[in-house]
Amino acid sequence: MAIRNLRELKAQLPRGGRLMGLDLGSKTIGMAISDPGLAVASPVGTITRRKFTTDVQDMARELRGRGVAGFVIGLPMNMDGSEGPAAQSARQFAQNLIERPDLLGQVPEIAFWDERLSTSAVSRMMIEWDMTRKRRDEVVDRMAAAYILQGALDYLSAEAAREALAARDAAGDDDADLDD
């Protein structure tokens, strides 16, 4: 297992391998999962944090049978782009996963995704949807994990489109053929 950038992570995934997005809070861990085509993120659950070993065992139960081959962990950056204590905590969580693959029963790859304002954005959306405060509190962490993961999936999709366009341009194809 290694910490990679998103492009490297995607390249390491087996065909049909899914990604799990994690929103690591101080009290809870929100979880989301991608579809096998890496296009859509869906919220799957929330774990109440206790201690690392227990948290990962709870995550492992959610992973079972889902074909998860990698994690996208939200990295809570400061607004100026620097990393504070929350980002250091997320990095330590990832490092602990690397050091204890036995807890998951598998060896997935890890990438980070800048999660600045993800919880705020999700909260605003849920308010617009006229969701009650109680319901928002119940689902905000898993929705934030889906928001984080969807951002990473959208980035990967845009990268693939840019690469395809560059390959087409390098092959000498041009748009003139489309006008005929």
- pLDDT tier, 167 (very low <50, low <70, confident <90, very high otherwise): confident
If you average pLDDT over every residue of the chain, what do you get?
Answer: 84
pTM over 0.75: yes
56 compared with 117, residue with greater pLDDT: 56
Instruction: Examine the pLDDT at 120 and tell me if it is beyond 60.
Output: yes
Mean pLDDT value across residues 1-6: 78
Helix (H, G, I), strand (E, B), or coil: what is residue 25?
Answer: coil
Confidence of residue 135 (pLDDT cuts 50, 70, 90): low
| 3-state helix vs strand vs coil in the chain, percent to 5 | 50, 20, 25
Give the rounded percent of residues in the chain with a pLDDT score beyond 70.
Answer: 82
Strand order in the sheet with 68-75: 3-4, 109-114, 68-75, 18-24, 28-34, 41-48
Q: Greater confidence, 132 or 131?
A: 132
How many CB atoms lie under 10 A from the CB of residue 175? 7
The domains located in the chain, with CATH, are: 3-170 (3.30.420.140)
| C-alpha to C-alpha distance for 141 and 53, rounded to whole angstroms | 20
In whole angstroms, what is the distance from residue 149 CA to residue 48 CA? Answer: 20
pLDDT of 176 above 80? no
For residue 73, pLDDT beyond 70: yes
- Give the strand pairing for 3-4 and 109-114: parallel
pLDDT at 37 exceeding the cut of 80: yes
Mark residue 75 as left, alpha or beta (left: phi above 0; alpha: psi -120 to 50; beta: remaining). beta
Q: Say yes or no to pLDDT of 174 above 90.
A: no
Strands 41-48 and 68-75: unpaired
Give the mean model confidence (pLDDT) for residues 103-124. Answer: 76
Q: Give dist(CA 156, CA 154) in Å, integer.
A: 5
